[in-house]
Amino acid sequence: MPTHDELPEIRAAEREKQGSYRHSIRVCMAAGCLSQHEGTIRKALVDAVAAEGLEGEVQVKGVGCMGLCAQGPLVMVDDSILYEKVTAEDAVDIVKALDKKPVKRIQSSLNIPFFQRQVKIVLENSGIVDPESIEDYISRDGYAALSKALGEMMPGDVVDEIMNSGLRGRGGGGYLTGLKWSTVSKAISDIKYVICNADEGDPGAFMDRSVLESDPHRILEGMTIAGYAVGAQKGYIYVRAEYPLAIDRLKTAIKQAKRLNLLGDNILGTEFDFDIELRLGAGAFVCGEETALMASIEGRRGSPRPRPPYPADHGLWGQPTLINNVETFANVAPIIRNGGQWFASIGTENSKGTKVFALAGQVKNTGLIEVPMGVTLREIVQEIGGGTTNDAGLKAIQTGGPSGGCIPVEFIDTPVDYDSLRMLGSMMGSGGLIVIDDTASMVELALYFMEFCMTESCGKCIPCRVGTAQMHNLLNRIVRGEARAEDLELLEQLCDLTRNTSLCGLGQSAPTPVLSTLKYFRHEYLEKIAAPPAEEAAS
Amino acid sequence: MNATMRRNGYRADALIETLHTIQESFGFLDDVSLRFVADALRVAPSQVYGVATFYHFFNLKPQGKHVCSVCTGTACYIKGAGKILDAIKEQHGIEPGQTTPDGELSLLTVRCVGACGLAPAVVFDGQVIGNQDVEQTQARIEGWISHANS
Ligand SMILES: Cc1cc2nc3c(=O)[nH]c(=O)nc-3n(C[C@H](O)[C@H](O)[C@H](O)COP(=O)(O)O)c2cc1C
Ligand code: SF4
Ligand code: FES
């Protein structure tokens, strides 16, 4: 059972082991790439290494997401050579080329803005550590923050450090994490809970999934530190059942952490006990909302309830509960390791640190990126993303998923931070960033999101249940060219009503995609209305 | 199923975990199992049914021999998932959530399977395949069905 002193020994031993290899070949085993090779590439590489008799000199390791999913499957050699669109047949060539020139035919450049413009905190280990090895995580300073917190800091110090970092919740709301921790730590109760929200409901985003698949121990470490800080002994990770790989890796990670006494009773030989259990979601967007999520953990239908009381006072089974998003927890260990000041030096005045985005849609380099807060949309889409596919014109950027809005190309120089995006009528959201080109109809996009909200409405309150259905109906008529000018007015009234009278965030934000497209692309709505129905029928 | 309930000490909050286990074993939630779970966990059958119908992940009907789930998340939608879905609907005469009368094919939609970088993505019998178009998807389904008929 390791104590504080033994953790560095494990770290040193693992580093020595890894340092003894002359070469290291890393294969992406995250969902995107894995769907294309199912592990055959790793096996082929292991075989090729064996065939050359290099087992002791060359390490082949499965790792998490390297980011450039569009070019996958990816293989990285010694941090310096990246291969793209690799197949199992390439394995022999890759191994044979180790001490020679790289294999040209599949070589990708690391000298592109996609890699150079990123700053990695949350994803610092993604694509580097083996997500199924706790020793590998420890070798990269893993669990050093937990050891520091338990060994050198009082719970109040930990809360202060998070407060000083200026970290804001990454689940969408952007609430100050330090403030939330402080509230839960002050709540008086023998039983408190920590929940990690891994429900990732935004249908076009995969940041949380990627972190869980690529670096699961980081979440366990962040949650355990949170448990110590707020005085909780039990944590739950609420993860979508649609993410089987993330679930498997979390289960493995929890087992490993228990084995090394980094979870369970008397963690690292201290008085502190903390345990983490998984709870599976079952495909309901509204369960990402915190009160619905807690109802779901309790085994009930995931319907939200009015707040206050907030979970910090009255959460899971009525006890004070800290609930944070995956990416929020992923920032905790680096903040404790390097100090809140360090974190606060990255980003902008009111948005500190970095943000992970799932870059998707009509953009060349789709994949996962992490950038400091305050970079512009232009840098993200044109430089890191490499511009639009097929050289179509860029029309808009959608952020915040079904609760967010579309930012037209005129505002492409807006810095990405919580406040700027809100001012444009969108939101940071959890990190989905969809690039939309000239060929897309904004009205149809609004219809798409409304259909999503209508299907996902839990039906508990009337404005949301009826409002989303009515708005969907109106949008449908507009798209089909059957609407009249009055319908647009009615649509706007319904938006207003639903936004102001719904119980939870789902209903309150359901009109956002409509309002933002109406604001910037009103002409597209008008064109559909102006077109006389006869013309449609004739064509 | 019993093991899942036992592991969770027959607590009512094990309901969703238990339903997951049933679906994993039988592919869908049948009436008999739902009733059994209600008794074992001592919750009202109406609550079990309410939970089972609330969550999209649970199927209350048996699935076809092959299941094709088209991702209709935003990234896939932008890249033309709708066309793929329409083509399957037309070709096989079924809507999402339905199974062909011969029990060969079930069509489902999912919202993001986490392969947005490879959009549009389709899940064929649990395997995620990225960068799909109408022809490729049709060909795979044809492969299943012609195999069954030969
Ligand atoms: C409809 C709805 C869906 C949500 N989905 C998610 C989600 O998928 N993931 C998440 O972390 N937060 C989601 N949230 C926000 C949570 O309610 C909560 O604010 C968040 O988990 C707090 O963590 P943070 O402070 O670290 O962001 C959702 C909120 C609403 C209203
Ligand atoms: S706003 Fe919609 S999702 Fe939220 S509680 Fe009301 S009906 Fe349910
Ligand atoms: S939107 Fe289809 S995989 Fe994410």
* pLDDT tens digits along A103-126: 999 999 888 888 888 999 999 999
- As a whole number, mean pLDDT of residues A402-406 equals 91
User: What residues does each domain of chain A span?
Assistant: 18-110, 142-343, 348-437, 443-528
Q: If phi over 0 gives left and psi between -120 and 50 gives alpha, with beta otherwise, what is residue A79?
A: left
pLDDT at B85: 94
Percent residues over pLDDT 90 in chain A: 75
Please state the pTM of the whole predicted model.
0.91
**CA A333 / ligand 1 centre spacing (Å):** 21
Would an 8 Å CB–CB cutoff place B145 in contact with chain A?
Answer: no
Spatial distance between the Cα atoms of A267 and A384, rounded to a whole number of angstroms: 42
Judge if the beta carbon of residue A465 lies within 6 A of ligand 2: yes
Per-residue pLDDT band at A370 (split at 50, 70, 90): very high
- As a whole number, mean pLDDT of residues A299-319 equals 90
Q: At residue A421, what is the residue type?
A: L
Spatial distance between the Cα atoms of A34 and B121, rounded to a whole number of angstroms: 13
Please report the atom of ligand 1 found closest to the CA of residue A199.
8
Write out chain B residues lying below 8 Å of A457, CB-based.
Answer: none
Angle at CA of residue A247, ends A243 and A251, nearest 5°: 175
Provide the shortest C-alpha distance from residue A158 to chain B (in Å): 32
Please count the residue pairs, one from chain A and one from chain B, whose beta carbons lie less than 8 angstroms apart: 139
Write out chain B residues lying below 8 Å of A280, CB-based.
Answer: 16-17, 20
Beta-sheet strands, E only, within A266-341: 275-281, 321-325
pLDDT in tens, A479-517: 999 999 899 999 999 999 999 999 999 999 999 999 999
Question: Average pLDDT over chain A, rounded to whole?
Answer: 92
Q: What is the ipTM of this complex?
A: 0.80
DSSP state for residue A274 in the 8-state scheme: B
Spatial distance between the Cα atoms of A192 and B11, rounded to a whole number of angstroms: 19
Give the sign of the dihedral formed by CA A6, CA A7, CA A11, CA A17: positive
Q: Residue B78 and residue A440: Cβ atoms within 8 Å?
A: yes
* Range in A302-311, A351-360, B83-92 with the lowest mean pLDDT: A302-311
Per-residue pLDDT band at A532 (split at 50, 70, 90): low
Look up the CATH number of domain A443-528.
Answer: 1.20.1440.230
Radius of gyration of chain A (CA): 24
Percent residues over pLDDT 70 in chain A: 98
If residue A371 lies in a helix (H) or strand (E), which one and from where to where?
strand A367-372
pLDDT of residue B10 exceeding 80 = no
B41, B11 contact by CB (below 8 A): yes
At the fourth CATH level, the homologous superfamily of domain A18-110 is Glutaredoxin (3.40.30.10)
Q: Which CATH class is domain B66-148?
A: alpha beta
pLDDT at A133: 96
Q: If phi over 0 gives left and psi between -120 and 50 gives alpha, with beta otherwise, what is residue B49?
A: alpha
Per-residue pLDDT band at A1 (split at 50, 70, 90): low
Angle at CA of residue A394, ends A388 and A400, nearest 5°: 95
pLDDT of residue A519 exceeding 60 = yes
If residue B144 lies in a helix (H) or strand (E), which one and from where to where?
helix B134-149
Radius of gyration of chain B (CA): 18
- As a whole number, mean pLDDT of residues A3-24 equals 90
pLDDT at B135: 92
pLDDT of residue A535 exceeding 60 = no
**CA A457 / ligand 2 centre spacing (Å):** 5
pLDDT of residue B150 exceeding 70 = no
β-bridge mates for residue A275, sequence order: A234
Q: Residue A283 and residue B117: Cβ atoms within 8 Å?
A: no
For residue A181 the two structure tokens come to 């921790």
Fold category of A348-437 in CATH: Ubiquitin-like (UB roll) (3.10.20)
Provide the shortest C-alpha distance from residue B145 to chain A (in Å): 23
Taking CA atoms only, the protein residue closest to ligand 1 atom 25 is A169
pLDDT at A102: 92
Look up the CATH number of domain A142-343.
Answer: 3.40.50.11540
DSSP state for residue A379 in the 8-state scheme: I
The closest alpha carbon to A197, from A119, A292, A108, belongs to A292
- As a whole number, mean pLDDT of residues A318-328 equals 97
- Lining ligand 1 with CB less than 6 A are A 169-173, 175, 197, 199-201, 285-286, 288-290, 323-325, 328, 430, 504-506
For residue A229 the two structure tokens come to 């800080």
pLDDT at A514: 96
User: What residues does each domain of chain B span?
Assistant: 2-54, 66-148
A52, A96 contact by CB (below 8 A): yes
pLDDT of residue A5 exceeding 70 = yes
- As a whole number, mean pLDDT of residues B64-86 equals 91
